[in-house]
Structure 1
Amino acid sequence: MSDGPDPAGEPSFRSGFACFVGRPNAGKSTLTNALVGTKVAITSGRPQTTRHAIRGIVHREDAQLVLVDTPGLHRPRTLLGQRLNDVVRATLSEVDVVGFCAPADEPVGRGDQFIAQELSRLPKRTPVIAILTKADKVADPDRLGARLLELASLGDFAEIVPVSAVGPARAQGSPGIHASGSPGERSPGGSAAYQLDVLADLLVARLPAGPPLYPDGELTDEPELVMVAELVREAALEGVRDELPHSLAVVVEEMLPREDRPADRPLLDVHVNVFVERPSQKAIVIGAGGSRLKDVGTRARGQIEALLGTPVFLDLRVKVAKDWQRDPKQLRRLGF
């Protein structure tokens, strides 16, 4: 595969990194998964679900786009929050193009302004594309246009594009604005997504010429241990109280094939610790008579088996690590 220019002067193949940044719960992980075409980042309705930079790889005939989903950039209240922000800032300094995500169903706020100020400090060579996510939640074209104008007022962006990573699509005729404000792709009735291909083209156009960075077919470089821990945390986040997501940490202690199993009936033993900060939170995760923890295990096991392609025995233990979000030693032990 040649990565040199074609006769028209355009590179025949591009490869590089794009980072999605935005305030917590702006739809970055859902957008990453939609572009990659499979689940590489866990999602939740709770803010600060993502806790480290997750790479998803988009393979195209003309390019390999490596998407880096980051934690939500925010004003931190804990040492964990500070370290999550450090992850975002380190990622911003290493990518070829940045996608600034803001949700269409909420007005631009101080969190968005805070991030826009951070992005204004990037070197001029790093282009920023403003992405209005969750466009499916805004049916009124005038309201969508107002959100686009609010987003445009935050900075000097290379492009502005509204997208929807999940259905249902908005009514046909709603405007799509990208690049310099020209009309974009209209949302077809019944489509499950909106302008994802437009966004991918805009990101790819800003990648340098070069060969693929990952083997064909590889969708993420996340270690299996990390992905298993994330799937357990995603299952544990379902239906918990508002304060609990920030207090949950998951560590896979070991994954070992069960001995003395026949070759045609393998079983993988997966031992996982779920850490919370207080005994009262432990009771919430376990539930009455262990009912919630059993439900978490059932949901997580199905996802893990699909990921690893083998039957799994999932052993979940809930432990208290007091105030781990503020304790440097415990943060290191939990991988932060």
Structure 2
Amino acid sequence: MTNDQFKSGFAAMIGRPNVGKSTLLNHVLGQKVAIMSDKPQTTRNKIQAVYNQSDAQVVFIDTPGIHKPKHKLGSFMTNIAQKTLDEVDIVLFMVDADKGYGKGDQYIMEQLEKCHTPVFLVINKIDKVHPDQLLPFIESYREKYDFTEVIPISALNGNNVNTLLEQILLYMEEGPQFYPADQITDHPERFIISELVREKVLHLTEDEVPHSVAAQVEHIEYKEEKDTVYVAAAIIVERSSQKGIIIGKQGKMLRNIGTQARGDIEALLGSKVYLDLWVKVRENWRNREGRLRDFGFVEEDY
């Protein structure tokens, strides 16, 4: 295989919150790099993940779900998603087959009108609807935008995902290999570990906590004598009441979060892990630019 036969490019994943972009990304890569939750706005940073074949490489950009922002963190998330449209070769507009066309979709399509690259309509969660419902669903979107391709999938079950990948590669041009073939993300381990911790908080705590929670890895060290990686991480909340929820009665909730997160971190690092977790209160951090920067939300970096 010669270099001039190698195809490569960038594909942005965009859509309303909770349509399954992170689930698709993890399925394509066969490894978790984006956290999954049934709660909206799970993805906060633009996550670049790398899909490799012997003759091709696709860099997926999993953007935060576009929504009308209510605070500075929300504005950051939406701005990142919109800017991504100008940086890629293909845009994957993902929608939920189980939900009809909504105002959030209209808002996104207004942004897509400014886009000059191919736009795929990716209909996710087809396992939740009867096949007869798909055609009218597709038409409700097609009459509002001239999509390059329309591909129904189930990201959770993997249905038709290979077809989606094949179609993406058809639209990629000859180009360089941007990342080594064994690299699946451009994010450092610290970022992924902090996201894995935050994912467990989202899964295990009540609805009043998730939107105001962040996680920050403060120290990683390999302990050779114990053949173990020591990870120290803080869970950040906005109110003392939330701190109490995450710690739980006699520390039970925090232990559960740690146990579940440790399993994923060990799979990521390929090593035994000792995970030291604690909870910090940082009032109104989502509206403070200094705090957002501390926790990795820095728009200029993108």
Q: Alignment partner of 1:307: what SS? A: helix
Amino acid at match of 2:2: S
Superposed CA deviations along residues 47-101 of structure 1, whole A, max 9, x for unmatched, are: 0111111122111233111111111011101100000112112222111110000
Using the TM superposition, give the Cα deviation of residue 247 of structure 1 relative to its aligned residue in structure 2, in angstroms. 0.4
Alignment of 1:64-213 (within 5 A): 64-122=57-115, 124=116, 126-138=117-129, 140-167=130-157, 193-213=158-178
Superposed CA deviations along residues 241-298 of structure 1, whole A, max 9, x for unmatched, are: 223211001110010123xx43xx4122111011001111111111111110000000
Q: Distance in 1 between matches of 2:48 and 2:289?
A: 26
1:283 to 223, 244, 259: 244
The answer for the alignment partner of 2:198 in structure 1 is 233
Superposed CA deviations along residues 83-139 of structure 1, whole A, max 9, x for unmatched, are: 0112112222111110000010111111111111111112x2x1111110111111x
1:269 to 219, 224, 230: 230
Higher relative contact order (CA 8 A, sep 6+): 2
Q: Alignment partner of 2:258: what SS? A: helix
Q: Distance in 2 between matches of 1:225 and 1:219?
A: 15
1:252 to 198, 203, 217: 217
Q: Distance in 1 between matches of 2:163 and 2:222?
A: 44
The answer for the alignment partner of 1:214 in structure 2 is 179
8 Å CA contact retained: 1:50, 1:71: yes
Using the TM superposition, give the Cα deviation of residue 331 of structure 1 relative to its aligned residue in structure 2, in angstroms. 1.3
Amino acid at match of 2:80: V
8 Å CA contact retained: 1:23, 1:112: yes
8 Å CA contact retained: 1:25, 1:45: yes
With normalisation by structure 2, the TM-score equals 0.95
Q: Distance in 1 between matches of 2:160 and 2:54?
A: 19
Amino acid at match of 2:141: L
Q: Distance in 2 between matches of 1:312 and 1:197?
A: 34
8 Å CA contact retained: 2:9, 2:88: yes
Q: Alignment partner of 2:221: what SS? A: strand
8 Å CA contact retained: 2:17, 2:41: yes
Q: 1:150 to 1:243 in 2, by over 3 A?
A: farther
Structure 2 residues without counterparts, runs of 5 or longer: 298-302
Using the TM superposition, give the Cα deviation of residue 21 of structure 1 relative to its aligned residue in structure 2, in angstroms. 0.2
Using the TM superposition, give the Cα deviation of residue 213 of structure 1 relative to its aligned residue in structure 2, in angstroms. 1.4
Q: Distance in 2 between matches of 1:198 and 1:305?
A: 32
Bigger shift: 326-335 or 39-48? 326-335
Q: Distance in 2 between matches of 1:228 and 1:55?
A: 15
Q: Distance in 2 between matches of 1:281 and 1:107?
A: 34
Bigger shift: 72-81 or 237-246? 237-246
Using the TM superposition, give the Cα deviation of residue 13 of structure 1 relative to its aligned residue in structure 2, in angstroms. 2.2
Q: Considering only aligned residues, what root-mean-square deviation do their CA atoms show, in Å? A: 1.3
8 Å CA contact retained: 1:2, 1:211: no
The answer for the alignment partner of 2:189 in structure 1 is 224
Amino acid at match of 2:78: N
Amino acid at match of 1:90: K
Q: Distance in 2 between matches of 1:152 and 1:162?
A: 13
8 Å CA contact retained: 1:21, 1:28: yes
8 Å CA contact retained: 1:297, 1:316: yes
Identical aligned pairs, as a percentage?
43
Using the TM superposition, give the Cα deviation of residue 37 of structure 1 relative to its aligned residue in structure 2, in angstroms. 2.1
Q: Alignment partner of 1:42: what SS? A: coil
Structure 1 residues without counterparts, runs of 5 or longer: 5-11, 168-192
8 Å CA contact retained: 2:204, 2:257: no
Q: Distance in 2 between matches of 1:150 and 1:307?
A: 41
